[in-house]
Amino acid sequence: MDIKPSKTNPDRGMSHDQNFKNLLVDYSRQAVVFFAAAEAAEIDEQVRITPVRQEQFQERLGERFRELDVPLRVEWPDGRREALLFVLEEESDARRFSIHRLAHYCLDLAELMKTDRVVPVVIFLRQAKGVAQRLRLSGDRDTYLDFHYLSCALGELSYEDHCHSDNLVARLNLPNMRYPARRKVEVYAQAVRGLTELESDPEKQLKYLDFIDIYAALDDNERTEYQRDYPDEAKTMSRFAERFREEGVQQGMQQGMQQGIHQGKAWVLERQLRLKFGALPDVVQRRIEQASEQTLLEWSERILTANRLDEVLH
């Protein structure tokens, strides 16, 4: 049996769309290469890829503008090609997708940016069955508009084809791909391994550990299996989170921001609990947000020996 991507909602109210916007902005080059491979063959390391500022779009594009669409400008510094505009749109629910809206959006962007070099790309978090792939406007004698887009349905991609990819966007999305249910922990481990191998920035490592956790959504048994089968990696990530906590606390003390220190401790405690026990119920998150600094410290110490979530929070 192949496993389908999790429907777990991202924590702290962040939408699937916002998670993907962050991904596309932080790793624009890898995103273009992975999601738009058919147009990326000529994009080498000399090419400059930058997100297009979107402030001007709201007024001009009206209801067709979605703040979570991500236009990326691809430019060849040596001038051998005219700039290319990639329009990436993510749909966590394929039923929301409108090819008419996308066509409007691309045409308006082309007019605003004064270019006809526009590549529409739609990323479907799961599958894209039954979704319109082409829009034709025609009469009895001729076709007057023929619009289509590049499509990437993550839930239809095979995990095995990408599990050793050196493209970080591909590795982070392994949990969203298709794989046998029995290999879920392996998929999680390969995504985490890709993050640690391909990203050196500690802040981004922590940020995209959350991304992996959200979409992998390991349950308690799977979390235990991960710690058993990948003990070195699990300990490394736990130590990393603890070190990051200490650095954050020190920085907060230097700035004299007591509230920031408290929030930082609460945030890292949540992170440690998710790493060890999986997704946290809303009631647990509320208890952490309302806990005193002394209580947060006691809970952080109990994580080291606890086998269950209730052993930490009793």
For the cut 80, the answer to whether the pLDDT of residue 142 exceeds it is: yes
Q: What's the pLDDT at 3?
A: 53
Instruction: Please state whether the predicted TM-score (pTM) of the whole model is above 0.85.
Output: no
Q: What's the pLDDT at 8?
A: 42
For the cut 90, the answer to whether the pLDDT of residue 143 exceeds it is: yes
> What does the domain layout of the chain look like in residue ranges?
2-156, 219-314
- The mean per-residue pLDDT over the stretch 7-18 comes to 48
Lowest mean pLDDT among 103-117, 139-153, 281-295: 281-295
* pLDDT band at 270; cut points 50, 70, 90: confident
Q: What's the pLDDT at 274?
A: 83
| Tens-place pLDDT, residues 159-192 | 999 999 999 999 999 999 999 999 999 999 999 9
| Tens-place pLDDT, residues 17-33 | 678 888 999 999 999 99
The residue with greater pLDDT, 266 or 152, is 152
The residue with greater pLDDT, 91 or 143, is 143
Q: What's the pLDDT at 10?
A: 40
Report residue 306 as tokens: 């606890």
Q: What's the pLDDT at 138?
A: 96
For the cut 60, the answer to whether the pLDDT of residue 258 exceeds it is: no
Q: What's the pLDDT at 57?
A: 61
- The mean per-residue pLDDT over the stretch 128-136 comes to 93
Please count the other Cβ atoms lying within 10 Å of the Cβ belonging to residue 208.
Answer: 24
